[in-house]
Amino acid sequence: MPEATFLDANELVLNMGPQHPSTHGVLRVVLKLDGEKILGAECVIGYLHRGVEKIGENRTYQMFAPYVDRMDYVAAVSNALGYCLAVEKLLGVEAPPRAQAVRVILTELNRIASHLLWLGTHALDIGAITPLFYVMREREDILNIYEKYCGARLTTHAFRIGGLQYEVYEGMERDVKAFCKKFLPRVDEYEELLTENRIWKDRLINVGILNAEDCKAYGVTGPLLRAAGVKWDIRKAHPYSGYEKYDFEIPTRENGDTYDRYIVRIQEMRQSVRIIEQAVEGIPEGPIMAKVGKVIKPPVGEAYVSIEAPKGELGYFIVSDGSTQPYRLRVRPPSFVNLQALDKMSRGSLVADIVAIIGTIDIVLGEVDR
Amino acid sequence: MKSLLRKIFLVDLIEGLWVTFRSQHPKNIVTEQYPAERPRIAERYRGAPRLNVHPETKETLCIACNLCALACPEHLIVVTSERNEQTRRKELTTFTYDISRCMFCGLCEDACPTDALELSQDFELAAFTREGAIWDRQMLEEGPVPTRYRY
Ligand code: SF4
Ligand code: SF4
């Protein structure tokens, strides 16, 4: 934003963050203001940079798997799925059907957990404190399932290259079914709190509009794109891990404003429950691990795999030189790409809305900075 | 008209408040009163590391094969061994494990051929110094002893 250096008499530059509670981490936004109106916003990122891609080049394929959980730590299982699929593509193996079904269950649970955290913090930013406590209650159930399945709650390291490390625990199906049954009324409850609420509507409708064209121009994916009316979901477009077997819809909306993105995410949670219910009904019997050696040495080549993470398209590009370590590993994180659109979305709105707009992009700074 | 009436009588706000009041019932309380109430930890939980000993002979199960140290992405395990001339076997001398750098991924546990190294259900790992987070063989075998408060 070079214009920010030349200010008119009535213009002002304001720093927001990096320690601001509503930037969801350590994001610094430089705002150029005319009174209350935002003329431009520039993101300064990198406060959480850990060099994950470089770490990946210095670890073997198995060793790097726990690190991907630490990028988008709210949706660690989705990250792991993308990484495992990318290495599996390099190796030319596919996870057995049983592993695929369990993977789908866990990633969809993760999508719900991620959207729940988003809903809670987004509502909190806007001033509705109550939903945060309710969503944490439901998220706890999901985390308990993770803890029982793989032994960790947040950075799970649940999948291994070629399948799964852990067999389904005794009673997992029961737990998942019980969660699904309990969860749908809870979503209604959140909607009761928010959807028709006057303050909620006033704060969100026509705020941070991003239309379909701009979405495509910026490469924005995920709920932001779907709220602008584009029916694009990688689970349908390029099915992976057996998603073609499940029956679900892609929720879309027309206006592409913050309220529409809220509705899309709420609908997505309901669709995720649908997928989980179908997947848990028919987990096939069989092995959980494909034939992958103890030492993973993919042939020379490259592979790109993208999946539909809760926040958008999450891609992994891996170049192998035939050794046990990747030659180059590149991550396409959805939050990072979506955050670019902040400037476009916030121009012309008021200072108070920037909090809603940052919240609606649903960023995790661990993933933006990597 | 209907929406105007809803606006005048604050229906949307009252609906929201009703959700809040419904959750007031004591049976809806989900908060855990840690540390007065201990959390129930799952069996597979990956917490503090433990070096298992044989239940009867009290000898360590570790055969000093170094596989855990090689599997660890953070290279935080250091195993040293000595060759016993009589039995012609490697014997464990020291085992250091730096839990301050550990991310509890479980790769070392998976690599261990004898189930000697295990990530246990203990989760209270705080120490007063950084050195306190570097566990030696004795600490690993005995496990952490966190202060338990009585209420
Ligand atoms: S749990 Fe992971 S990081 Fe910790 S010592 Fe074992 S392999 Fe290393
Ligand atoms: S892998 Fe197991 S047996 Fe081998 S050195 Fe480590 S703890 Fe000991």
Chain-chain contact of A130 with B16 (C-beta, under 8 angstroms): yes
A325 contact B CB<8A: no
In a domain, A2, yes or no: no
- For position B59, what pLDDT does the model report? 80
Quickly tell me which residue has 């070096």 as its tokens: B51
In a domain, A6, yes or no: no
Domain extent, residue B83, equals: 49-142
Quickly tell me which residue has 């969801």 as its tokens: A24
For the stretch B86-120, pLDDT in tens is 877 777 788 888 888 888 888 888 888 888 888 88
Q: Which atom of ligand 2 is nearest to the CA of B64?
A: 5
DSSP type of residue B117: E
SS3 per-residue string spanning chain A: CHHHHCCCCCEEEEEECCCCHHHCCCCEEEEEEECCEEEEEEEECCCCCCCHHHHHHCCCHHHHHHHHCCCCHHHHHHHHHHHHHHHHHHHCCCCCHHHHHHHHHHHHHHHHHHHHHHHHHHHHHHCCCHHHHHHHHHHHHHHHHHHHHHCCCCCCCCEECCEECCCCCCCHHHHHHHHHHHHHHHHHHHHHHHCCCHHHHHHHCCCCCCCHHHHHHHCCCCHHHHHCCCCCCHHHHCCCCCHHHCCCCCCCCCCCCHHHHHHHHHHHHHHHHHHHHHHHHCCCCCCCECCCCCCCCCCCEEEEEEEEECCEEEEEEEEECCCCCEEEEEEECHHHHHHCCHHHHHCCCEHHHHHHHHHHHCCCHHHHHC
Q: How confident is the model at residue B30 (pLDDT cuts 50, 70, 90)?
A: confident
Q: Residue A220 and residue A339: Cα distance in Å, rounded? A: 8
In a domain, B14, yes or no: no
In a domain, B86, yes or no: yes
In a domain, B58, yes or no: yes
Cβ(B140) to ligand 2 under 6 A?
Answer: no
Which residue out of B45, B51, B66, B72 has the highest number of ligand 1 atoms within 8 Å of its CB and is therefore the one to mutate?
Answer: B72
In a domain, A59, yes or no: yes
Mutate to test the interface with B, among A196, A202, A289 (most CBs of B within 10 A): A196
What's the CATH code of the domain at B76?
3.30.70.3270
Chain-chain contact of B12 with A149 (C-beta, under 8 angstroms): no
**Nearest protein CA to atom 2 of ligand 1, as residue:** B105
In a domain, B36, yes or no: no
- The answer to whether the beta carbons of residues A30 and A4 sit under 8 Å apart is yes
Nearest to A155 among B16, B19, B103 (CB): B103
Chain-chain contact of A166 with B44 (C-beta, under 8 angstroms): yes
Cβ(B68) to ligand 2 under 6 A?
Answer: yes
**Residue B7: pLDDT over 80:** no
Q: Residue A107 and residue A79: Cα distance in Å, rounded? A: 9
**Residues of chain B found within 8 Å of residue A157, distances taken between Cβ atoms:** 105-106
Single pTM value for the model: 0.86
The number of domains in chain A is: 1
Torsion of CA A92, A98, A104, A105, to 10 degrees: -160
Phi, psi of A359 (to 5 degrees): -65, -40
In a domain, B137, yes or no: yes
What is the widest separation between alpha-carbon atoms in chain A? Answer: 71
Residues of chain A with pLDDT under 50: 1-2, 4
Q: Which atom of ligand 2 is nearest to the CA of B112?
A: 1
- For position A131, what pLDDT does the model report? 85
Mutate to test the interface with B, among A59, A61, A62 (most CBs of B within 10 A): A62
List Cα–Cα distances, B5 to A114, A198, B18, B19, B72, in angstroms. Answer: 37, 13, 19, 21, 65
- For position A24, what pLDDT does the model report? 75
In a domain, B26, yes or no: no
| ipTM field | 0.81
Q: Residue B53 and residue B43: Cα distance in Å, rounded? A: 19
Task: Looking at the CA of B105, name the nearest ligand.
Answer: 1
- Closest residue in A to B20 (Cα) is A130
Token readout for B67 is: 């596989």
What's the CATH code of the domain at A229?
1.10.645.10
For the stretch B114-148, pLDDT in tens is 888 888 888 888 888 888 888 888 888 887 777 77
In a domain, A71, yes or no: yes
Cβ(B77) to ligand 1 under 6 A?
Answer: yes
Domain extent, residue A239, equals: 11-369
Chain-chain contact of B12 with A197 (C-beta, under 8 angstroms): yes
List Cα–Cα distances, A196 to A115, A255, A256, A361, in angstroms. Answer: 19, 17, 18, 21
Chain-chain contact of B107 with A137 (C-beta, under 8 angstroms): no
- The answer to whether the beta carbons of residues B128 and B50 sit under 8 Å apart is no
Strand partners, A301: A320
Cβ(B53) to ligand 1 under 6 A?
Answer: no
**Nearest protein CA to atom 6 of ligand 2, as residue:** B68
Closest chain B C-alpha to A312 CA, distance in angstroms: 26
Query: B113-134 burial string, b = 16+ CB within 10 Å, else e?
Result: eeebbbbbbbeebeeeeeeebb
Closest chain B C-alpha to A59 CA, distance in angstroms: 7
In a domain, A150, yes or no: yes
Cβ(B133) to ligand 1 under 6 A?
Answer: no
- For position A317, what pLDDT does the model report? 92
**Residue B5: pLDDT over 80:** no
A163-164 vs A301-309, strand pairing mode: unpaired
Element (H, E) at B139: helix B137-142
**Residue B28: pLDDT over 80:** no
The number of domains in chain B is: 1
For the stretch B40-81, pLDDT in tens is 888 888 888 888 888 888 788 888 888 888 888 888 888 888
In a domain, B42, yes or no: no
- For position A6, what pLDDT does the model report? 59
In a domain, B132, yes or no: yes
